[in-house]
Every structure is written in C-alpha cells, then in structure tokens.
Amino acid sequence: MAVLTEEQSMLRDAAKSWVQEKSPVTAFRKMRDSGAELGYDVAAWNEMAEMGWAGVIVPEEYGGSNFGYLSLGLVLEELGRTLTASPLIASGLGAASALILGGSEEQKQAWLPKIADGSAVAALAIDEGPHHRPEKVDAKVEGGKLSGKKVFVLEGMAADLFVVSAKSGGAIELYLVKADAAGVSRSKLSLADSRGAANVTFENVAVSDADKLTGGAALLDKVLDRARAGLSAEMLGAALQAFEVTLDYLKTRVQFGQVIGSFQALQHRAAKMFTELELSRSAVEAALTAIDNDAPDTAELVSLAKAKMGDTFHLVSNEMVQMHGGIGMTDAHDAGFYLKRARAAEAAFGNQAFHRDRYARIQGY
C-alpha cells in the first residue's frame, strides 16, 4: 500500500465513513429500482461535491484542492466498495483533466469552478464503435461545424458539457461542446450495471478555435490514461469488497457439518483472489503515482493497471457468485451487482485485450 500523507489519510477516512453511512449497497439498489433517469442519486452527488471530491485534482485557483490523482484514487476506491454511482470519473476526473492539461485560461475559468463545485457535469465523448478505439475518429470539423456520433458516453444524459474528439484538417483534436448547443442530441442507454450512459449525436454543431483544447491526440491519450487509472481505483475498491463479503461467507456458511471455509479447495481459491488483489493494488497505486509525478512510463503503468484490475475484478466477481452458491445467483443478493459492474468497468476505456496490446506496443513488441 502506498505511503499516504496526513491529508490523504484524512480524505480516505472521510470517504470511507461517508459511503458506509450515506451510500451503502442498499442505496445503489434503491437507485437502480427507482429507474433514476441519470443513473445516479443527484442528492448523493451534491453531498460529494460539497465535500470537495469533484475538485480533488482541480487547482486551487479554480476552486479545487489540487490533491492529485492518488488522492482522488483513494476516494474512488471507497466509492467502489459500495458501488456508488456518480459522475466523479467522467466529470471530476476525465473532463477536468482535459481542461487542466489542454484548456486555455478562459476555458478553465469558465468550467473548472463549476466542475469542482458539482454545479456542472462534464463528460468525455470519445468512442464511436462497440470497442474502445480512441484513434478511430470519424467525427469531423469542417467549416466551423462539428458532425459525428459518439457512443457509450458515460454520464452522457447528465452532462452539461462534452469533451469531444473530432478530426480537423486530418488531425485529432478535442473540442468543448455544450450539451444544449444546437445540433446536439442524445439517447439514453440501459447498461447492465445500471449506470448512466448515452449515445450522443452532433449534427453541424457550431465550434470555433475558442472551443478547441490544445494538445490534439497526445492530449487525448493523457486524458484517457487519467480516466483509466481512476476507474481502476474504483474497480479495486469493488473487488476488495466482493472478496471480503465472500470471505465472511466462507467463515460462516456450514455445509456437510463443516464451515465451508475449512475445505482446502475453497481456501486455495480464496488465497488466489487475495494475491491477485494485492498485485492489483500495487499496479493501480503505481499508475496513479506516475500520473502525479508526470513519469515517462505513465502510459504503460496505466495499461498494466487497467488490464490487471480487469482480470482481477472479473475473477473475484465470478468467485463471489460461485462461492455463495444458489443465493449468489439471485437478485436478492448483492453478488450480481458486483459481477455486472465488473463487466461494464472492464469494457470502459479499453478492456484487457486493448491494454495488453497497448502495453506490448509501448514495450516495442
């Protein structure tokens, strides 16, 4: 585990306390059953924003705390434990990073304070097909008009602002587009994990150089790496909770006159999960620390973390269902929530295959 500063320890403890008291898994179940239009509890999100979590990476001059990515990862890990749905990754991490890294002073002044206080939600509109291929961009800007379609936009229904990738003059650029701009339309998606997402269409939307971020394809890579690392931290928290719940069950469930945790085969499977979780934590914390330090190997560490965390969460969520037996197959138990979240999170911002391939290419293979 990373060595934390006093401020980071306090932030983690505050997040742990809040999710246990205000946002347990029962709150997620209630949100899911209510059919919440946005895919999250707006009141809970407002509380999170009031605690400053939406502005953890935002510089102080724009209303944030500038605590860094490892600090935000600590919050996301705790939120992951109880499957708390919110726009934190899409808005407070992904879109905020785009503005911090590539925004002009005017763009930062206009949007970062609103993102930091939660009054505006921003989202990344990048993918255009069923698989994560950020380099494949058909959306275009011609004659000051942006046209194209983006799919699986996380928090797309809640967004007030989109960070859109589009080609201009043959090169990939990122543009800021208001959700209520003429020519923008969106349709809600129903995802297995009950989170908020949408397909968004841009039809001759007026854009100018004042809407363009600086950095092009290189900026896009950096922004996506920050979103990937943050999502990996959330996945770590969810996998840890799934493991701990399963471990408690192994210690209490009696079968054939014995606690099932005494069966050697189940002990081996539990030990496998524990070792994979420890390796995954090291990978996730290394990626977040590399981002904070602007390390030259950030991209490969992020892909390592996302691929490893995808494998681990997949394993643990499967074992949670299997080891709980019949009850684990029912909607009455929480195991299905963790399995569904694992599958959706694996696919977001690149699955294991994408990141293994990317890691190999970075290594020169």
Lookup: tokens for 193: 């994990």
**CATH classification code of 217-362:** 1.20.140.10
> For 240-264, how does the pLDDT look when each residue is reduced to its tens digit (9 = 90+)?
999 999 999 999 999 989 999 999 9
Residue 141 · residue 173 · CB < 8 Å: yes
> For 144-180, how does the pLDDT look when each residue is reduced to its tens digit (9 = 90+)?
999 999 999 999 999 999 999 999 999 999 999 999 9
The reply to whether 217-362 shares the fold of 122-214 is no
pLDDT of residue 2: 81
Ranges of each domain in the chain: 6-116, 122-214, 217-362
Q: Report how far residue 175's alpha carbon sits from residue 146's, in angstroms, rounded to the nearest whole number.
A: 9
In sequence order, the 6+-apart residues with CB closer than 8 A to the CB of 241 are 80, 81, 82, 338
Q: Give the pTM.
A: 0.97
Is residue 3's pLDDT more than 90?
Answer: no
**CATH classification code of 6-116:** 1.10.540.10
Residues 6-24 as b or e (16 or more Cβ within 10 Å = b): eebeebbebbbebbeeebb
Look at the domain 122-214 and name its fold. Butyryl-CoA Dehydrogenase, subunit A; domain 2 (2.40.110)
C-alpha distances (whole Å) from 224 to each of 112, 196, 217, 221, 349 are 18, 19, 11, 5, 7
